[in-house]
Amino acid sequence: WYLLLNNSVSTMNSAVHSFRFDELIKYVDDHQEEYVQTLREWVAVESDSSDVTKRAELYRMMDMVGEKLRKMGGKVELVDIGEEQLPDGSSLALPKVVTAQFGSDVNKPTVCVYGHVDVQPAQKEDGWATEPYNLTEINGNLYGRGASDNKAPVLAWIHAVEAFKALDMDLPVNVKYLIEGMEETGSNGLDAMIKSQKSTFFSDVDYIIISDCGWLSKRPALTYGTRGNCYFFAEVEGPKQDLHSGVYGGTVIEPMTDLIGILDTLISPSGTILIPGIRDAVAPFSDEEWKMYQDIEFDVESYREKIGVEQLMYNNKVELLAHRWRHPTVSIHGINGAFSAPGTKTVIPAKVTGKFSIRQVPDMDPAVVEKQVTDHLHSVFAKRKSPNKLKVKMIIGAKPWLADIKHSLYEAGKAAVKRVFNVDADMIREGGTIPIARTFQDVTEKSIIMLPIGGFDDGLHSQNEKMSR
C-alpha cells in the first residue's frame, strides 16, 4: 500500500523514484509479519470511544500512535482538544489528536493522511467467531475489531513512510498525519481543532488522503463523493401526560395518530420522495455518469442476497447505484416517546417525536431542505385540523461532498491502483456521510482523495470485522 503514496506522488512530482521500486517491494515483503504484529498490538487495545469506562485504553492508544511516529523520526504532537460533557454532568478529557510531520521541504508538495484509531464496541457474545480484540488469522484474513476500520489503513500509511525511512530513501513529498480517537462517536472536538490549526498545521498541506471507507466489490476503488444528511425531529404534543388508552381513548385526538399521518406523506410506497421541491435541486444525471456507473463492477443479485430482501427498490445496476449514491432518500428511523418495548402496554403517548433523515446530494442545500420539509409537514398537519402541536426541527445538516475525478490527485490514485493491481479503479461514491471530508474541504480548502483500503466484505461495525492480509 505504501506504493500508492509513492505512485500518486510520482505523477505530481518530477522526481520519480521508480528506479528503487523493486527495493521497496522487497522491503515490504520482508517485513509483512512485523506489520501484522503491529496491527495485532493495536487491535489488542480496546479503544472503544463509545464506552467511557474504556477511556484509559483510548488514551493509551493515542500514546502508542504518537510513540510509533516518534520512533520513525517524525515531529509528533499530541494535541489537547478539550473535554466532553457526560450525561451525568461530569466531564471527561477527549483523547488527544496525534499530529506528525515527516519532511518540510518547501519544494515538495505536502500530503496529510487522516485516520482514526478508535473502534466500535465489540464483544465475543455478539456473535464473533474469534476474540474481537485478539487479531486472529484465518485463510489470509486478519479478524479483529478495528482491523479494517481504521487501524490497518492507518498503519498502512505509516508503514509506507517507514519503508522509505528504513531504506534511507528520500520521501518524494512531505507527509503529515492527523490521527484521532473519537471518530466512531462523531469526531467530538476535531472540527474545532482543524479550524484552530488552519493557518498552522494545515497552512502548508496541499492534499488530504482519507482511507476510512471501503471498496464496492473485489475490484479496487477510489471514492469521490459522499451523501450529506439532513436529520429531522418532528414532535407532536397533545395531552399534558400519557393517558390510559382505555380510560381516555375516543375522547382525544392522539399525537401518535397525527405523527403517523404526517410521516406517511414523506415517501411513496415505491420510494419516491413526496416533499414538494426536494428533487428539483438534484444535479441531473449526465450521460457521462451513466457510462461510468455502467462500468462499475457491482453485482445487483449478490447485493440483494446480502441484504436479504426479495426485491430491491431498483433492479438495474445503474439506477440502484445512482439511488444509493447520488439521489436523495428518506429513511424513517423511529419514534421517541411512544411505547417501544415488547409487550402490550395500553397507553396514549402524550408527546411523540418522529425521527427521519434525508440523505442529501449535490446540489441540494440543507437550509433549503430544512424549509421544504418544515413547510410540507406543517402544511399536511394543518389539513388534519388537529388540536395538537407540531414542532419540526433539523438536528443535523451535514453537506454532501464531491470531488473532481479529473483532479491530478485522482489521476495519481488511478495510476497507483493500475500499477499495483493491474486493473482500473472503480470510481465510486459512498451513500453515507463522512462529515470530516466536508470539514477538511470547507476549512482547509485543500483537495481531498478518499482511497479505500478496506475490502467490500470487511464487516465494518459488525461482528467478525477483518482486513485481508
CA distance 9 to 409: 8
Phi and psi at 305, nearest 5°, equal -65, -40
* Residue ranges with strand state E in 67-191: 75-79, 83-85, 91-93, 97-102, 110-116, 136-138, 141-143, 174-180
DSSP at 343: S
Task: Please say which residue, 159 or 351, places its beta carbon nearer to a copy of itself.
Answer: 351
Listed in sequence order, the residues at least 6 apart from 172 whose beta carbon sits closer than 8 Å to its beta carbon are 6, 9, 10, 13, 15, 16, 17, 108
- At closest approach, how far in Å is the CB of 389 from a copy of itself? 8
- Which amino acid does the sequence have at 216? L
Task: Please say which residue, 240 or 406, places its beta carbon nearer to a copy of itself.
Answer: 240
CA distance 113 to 60: 21
How many distinct helices (H) and strands (E) make up the chain? 14, 20
**Contact (Cβ atoms closer than 8 angstroms) between residue 266 and residue 356:** yes
Phi and psi at 138, nearest 5°, equal -135, 120
Task: Please say which residue, 109 or 239, places its beta carbon nearer to a copy of itself.
Answer: 239
Closest alpha carbon to 400 in 225, 260, 270, 241: 225
Task: Please say which residue, 208 or 398, places its beta carbon nearer to a copy of itself.
Answer: 398
**Residue 354, beta-bridge partner list:** 234, 335
| Active-site residue (options: 46, 118, 235, 430) | 118
- At closest approach, how far in Å is the CB of 283 from a copy of itself? 15
Helix, strand, or coil (residue 244): strand
Task: Please say which residue, 93 or 396, places its beta carbon nearer to a copy of itself.
Answer: 396
C-alpha cell at 113: 493522511
Task: Please say which residue, 24 or 266, places its beta carbon nearer to a copy of itself.
Answer: 266
Task: Answer yes or no: 118 catalytic.
Answer: yes
| Active-site residue (options: 46, 48, 183, 212) | 183
List, by residue number, the catalytic residues. Answer: 118, 183
